[in-house]
Structures are given as C-alpha cells and as structure tokens.
Amino acid sequence: MAKWIRLDSYNDKGGELTVLEKKLPFDIKRIFFVTNQQKDQTRARHANRVLQEGLICLAGSCEVLLDDGRNRETVLLNDKTACLLIENMTWIETSNYSEECVLLVLASEYYDEQDHIHDYAAFKQEVLSKS
C-alpha cells in the first residue's frame, strides 16, 4: 500500500539541504505540488492502476488516507525529510491541509487519465477481481 522513505538531510550554519537521490524505486516522470488548499477540502480521491507516487510535505502538514481495498489507514505528512511512497492500486485522499502546506508529488509515469480510477466502488471491484 505505502511505505516511508527517509531522505538524507544535512544541516550546517548555512541551513539545511535535503536530498532525494536513488531512493525511489522508479524514475521520476512527473512532478507537481499542491498549495493554497482549504483545511476542509479533500483532494486526490483516486487510485492509479500503474503509476506510483512519492509524497513529500515540504511545509506545513496534511493527512493522506490510504486504502488497498482491504485495509485503510490515515497518515500525517509533516516532515520534509520523509517521502511517502504510494504503490499502484492504492486509493488515496488528501485532506486536513494546514494553511502553509506545500505538498510535493513525484510520479513514476506521465499523466494518463486512463490510469486513474475515480470511483471508489469501481476501485474496490477491480481490486477484488484480481485476488
């Protein structure tokens, strides 16, 4: 469903440098970030058939609901040195954004609408049909 990847971070009198190199199990093909979300707004609400994602909260915090069709958990993203690696066929919803939240998303594939499942019932059916 998902796992945490610890990023290398270096501090000195000049500031902090955090590096994401050779940590993800895929080449990054798409990068985007989410900002200026209302606290009560929910985003994502989908699963991907092939695409995998790495989520890093660069500032502030937000919550991510993860659901593999059998198990469900909500995790807090609030550490810029931690990347949440989300496997394909995991339903995700992001919510409870803090005012200053900057959520960076690293994707294994270019955007393809056909890879997205936007209906939760259809997602569950597809997951259960493969088991």
Q: What is the mean pLDDT of residues 114-127?
A: 96
Q: How far apart are CA 49 and CA 109, in angstroms?
A: 11
Mean pLDDT of 49-58: 98
8 A C-beta contact, residue 53 and residue 108: yes
pTM, entire model: 0.93
So which residues are the catalytic ones?
Answer: 46
Give the residue numbers spanning the domain of 94: 2-129
Buried/exposed 88-100: b ≥16 CB within 10 Å, e otherwise: ebbbbbbbbbeee
pLDDT in tens, 92-107: 999 999 999 999 999 9
> What pLDDT, on a 0 to 100 scale, did the predictor assign at position 38?
86
Question: How many structural domains compose the chain?
Answer: 1
Q: How confident is the model at residue 40 (pLDDT cuts 50, 70, 90)?
A: confident
Average pLDDT score over residue span 46-55: 98
Portion of the chain with pLDDT greater than 90, in percent: 92
Residue 68, domain CATH: 2.60.120.10
Q: Is the pLDDT reported for residue 26 higher than 80? A: yes
